[in-house]
Structure 1
Amino acid sequence: MTIGRTISIYLPDANPQGVKICEFFDSIVKAVSIPRAKLDAGLKRSELEQPGLYFLIGEKDEVGKPKVYVGESEILTVRLSDHHKKKDFWNQAICFVSEKNNLNKAHIKYLENHACEQAKLVNKCTLENSNTPTKSSLTDQDRDFVLRFFDELKIIMATLGYPIFEQTKRSKRHTYFCKSKNANAIGEYTEEGFVVNKGSKSNMEETTSLQPSIRAFRANLLEKGIVKEEDGVYVYQEDFTFSSPSMSASVVLGRAANGWMLWKDKDGKTLDELVRQKGISNG
């Protein structure tokens, strides 16, 4: 049985678009989320006068991945002020500190390295760090402490709308197929969207009636190296999450497509039958 967690989100100025203070009721992990436009107000927070890890977050790129810079500082207000002057891409900062103020330089250096490595592994953002930060040496006890800290950090990040450390939950019981001409794709419907698996094949040809937005999206997937041309088809070089089944089917087939009807399981049952109609029946 899954055990639930409670996260408190406090709005210091009662503005849902302003500074947010986020924390678990049963943890020392505290996050301060600051829109760049509200940086002056955010820098007045006493929590930022201590060591911590921070993320600078920019707009999503053409394939939906946000730009993210990971950093650490012994005094967060100083580092954020510096980035405000020198870095252009970001519009949101999320800082993580300890409620007990018991993070030291070695802790945050380890967290910085671990966050960068995990972001690369999950591959849901574009890292703006030019180099992977050096990992500090910790005792086993301290390492376990910071890894527990990170486990709670990533939950708060996802709650704030940035699931950049969340591995997509997969289940072989819910595998779907989309085939036509040279297209031969395998995927799965998840809570984050529709995932097309690495190794899937898309048609290179596009119909003349294909929406310009889908045409541009296919071009961006190719430009970013998410798909590569191999033997007359586009082959996915990594798992990729689309916003909807129809978006994924249209990109795979190179034409307008209803993904709810065209993604089918091994028995030929459509995603519509197995998910939407089932949901209506259960309701």
Structure 2
Amino acid sequence: MTTTTNPGRSIRLFLVDGSPTGLLTAEIMNWTGHVLTGPRAKLGELVRRPEVARTGVYFLVGPDPDNNLRPLVYIGESDDVSARLKDHNRPETVDGPEGKGSKGGKDFWEKVCLVTSKDQNLTKAHVKHLESQLMRLARTLGRCTLVNGTDHDYINLPEADLADMAFFLEQIRTVLPVLGFDFLRDTARPPANSEPAQPPQESPHFALELLKHGVRAEAQEVDGEFIVLKGSRAREDWVGVDGGYQNLFRQMVEDGVLAPSGSGPRQFTSDCAFSSPSAAAAVVCGRSANGRITWINTATGQTYGAWQDQLVSSANLEEEIDFA
């Protein structure tokens, strides 16, 4: 019988107008929080909902014209979220002789997500604390470009309230990726060497080598992400055709994740998570590459694709045994 190390969670999603691109609410069983999200085009409908007039935190999300790999995000709080959203819907600039910016106006965002409480027990102090913690996390994780100004710490809460808000924050981080907002999601990390031996289902180490160019990278799959390990080496420059993962390669160079090593190939300065083995292979090789055949299991010599196929076959065999 197959077992899991993490318990499942139940999240209730509701399409307010029956459309997957319209307003959507989300709730987690045994959590007092209530999440509402929708496109900016539906803001007129969203602000008329009763929960939007409550105290809460909210996220404005839109594309970054200078970086198509990360969204722009603004994190805010208010004791009347609807009023703040109306302010943010104004243009950033105002025509006229003074040419001053409109107070609170923001042009970049295309989606909004707000978190309030079903029991209405969130106070102004609670949401100010949540806002500060959310901003800190967003900057630390680096999955978005934060539009907010200077970070601020707000810890003026009783000990019991701090514990409640820590739990509330974790629920926010659980539900947002389900709604397509990944900027607060932790980057998966490989297990430390000091931890107990991995169960058979966990990913082995994979290697990709370009001996002619002095390139060798090692990687591991953790929690659905393909992670190239710190110290791995990659091609010095992108040598493939324009497009594909070229922008990802360039962005990683700009961010310092792929740093010059002084001897030709670049070096990963930290563990780096990719959406697929092929994305990782392309960055390592400096050109498009099929990660299912270029990453090799260092223990067995299998390709990544063969290893994954073996996992699927083993799962089918276990299912047949369970039903026998």
- For residues 214 and 7 of structure 2, the distance between their equivalents in structure 1, rounded to whole angstroms, comes to 45
Give me the whole-angstrom Cα distance separating, in 2, the residues matched to 1:206 and 1:118: 32
Aligned to 2:271: 239
In 2, Cα distance between equivalents of 1:95 and 1:206:
40
* CA distance in structure 2 between the aligned counterparts of 1:249 and 1:63, rounded to whole angstroms: 20
Q: Which digits, 9 at most, give the CA deviation of each residue in 1:103-135, with x for residues without a partner?
A: 111111110111112222332222222211332
Moved more, 50-59 or 258-267: 258-267
Checking the alignment, whether the CA contact within 8 Å between 2:56 and 2:78 is kept in structure 1 is yes
2:59 counterpart of 1:55: yes
SS at match of 2:244: helix
Deviation, 1:189, is: 2.2
From 19, 22, 26, the counterpart of 2:26: 22
- Number of aligned residue pairs: 282
Cα drift, residue 45 of structure 1: 0.9
Residues 1:122 and 2:141 are matched in the alignment: yes
Show the counterpart of 1:253: 285
CA 1:45 to 1:277, structure 2 compared with 1: closer, same or farther past 3 Å?
Answer: same
1:52-91 to 2 correspondence within 5 Å? Answer: 52-59=56-63, 62=67, 64-85=69-90, 86-91=105-110
* Distance in 1 separating the partners of 2:68 and 2:312: 30
Structure-2 separation of matches of 1:205 and 1:245: 19
- 1:105-254 equivalent positions in 2, closer than 5 A: 105-172=124-191, 173=198, 174=203, 175-180=205-210, 181-207=213-239, 209-231=240-262, 232-254=264-286
Q: Bigger shift: 195-204 or 13-22?
A: 195-204
Structure possessing the higher radius of gyration over alpha carbons: 2
Do the aligned residues in 2 keep the contact of 1:107 with 1:136 (CA within 8 Å)?
no
Q: How does the TM-score come out when normalised to structure 2? A: 0.80
Find the aligned partners of 1:221 and 1:169 in 2 and give their Cα distance: 18
After the TM superposition, which of the residue ranges 188-197 and 7-16 deviates more from structure 2? 188-197
Deviates more, 1:140-149 or 1:242-251: 242-251
Structure 1 residue 211, shift from structure 2 partner? 4.9
> Does the 8 A contact of 2:235 with 2:266 survive in 1?
yes
Letter of the aligned partner of 2:37 in structure 1? S
Structure 1 residue runs of 5 or longer lacking an equivalent are none
Give, in whole Å, the separation in 2 of the partners of 1:179 and 1:193: 20
Counterparts of 1:213 and 1:55, CA distance in 2: 30
Are 1:168 and 1:192, in contact at CA under 8 Å, matched by a contact in 2?
no
Cα distance between partner residues in 2 of 1:83 and 1:64? 24
> Which residue of the partner structure matches residue 272 of structure 1?
305
Deviates more, 1:23-32 or 1:226-235: 226-235
Following superposition, the deviation at residue 48 of structure 1 comes to 1.2
Q: Which moved more, 1:256-265 or 1:134-143?
A: 256-265
Provide Cα deviations, 1:184-214, integer angstroms capped at 9, x if missing partner: 222222444322233322111444x545333
Instruction: Give, in angstroms, the shift of residue 139 of structure 1.
Output: 1.1
Q: Percent identity?
A: 30
Match of 1:220, as an amino acid? Answer: Q
TM-fit CA distance, 1:99: 0.6
TM-aligned CA distance change 1:206 to 1:41, over 3 Å: closer
Q: Kindly tell me: are residues 36 and 192 of structure 1, through their superposed partners in 2, closer, same or farther at Cα, counting changes over 3 Å? A: farther
CA distance in structure 1 between the partners assigned to 2:214 and 2:177 by the alignment: 37
Which shifted more, 12-21 or 216-225? 216-225
CA distance in 2, matches of 1:4, 1:215: 37
**Structure-2 separation of matches of 1:133 and 1:113:** 6
Give SS of 1:57's match. strand
Instruction: Give distance in 2, aligned partners of 1:79 and 1:155.
Output: 25
Which letter does structure 2 place at the counterpart of 1:72? E
Given that residues 177 and 187 in structure 1 are in contact (C-alpha distance below 8 angstroms), is that contact kept between their aligned partners in structure 2?
yes
Instruction: Report the RMSD for the aligned CA atoms in angstroms.
Output: 2.1
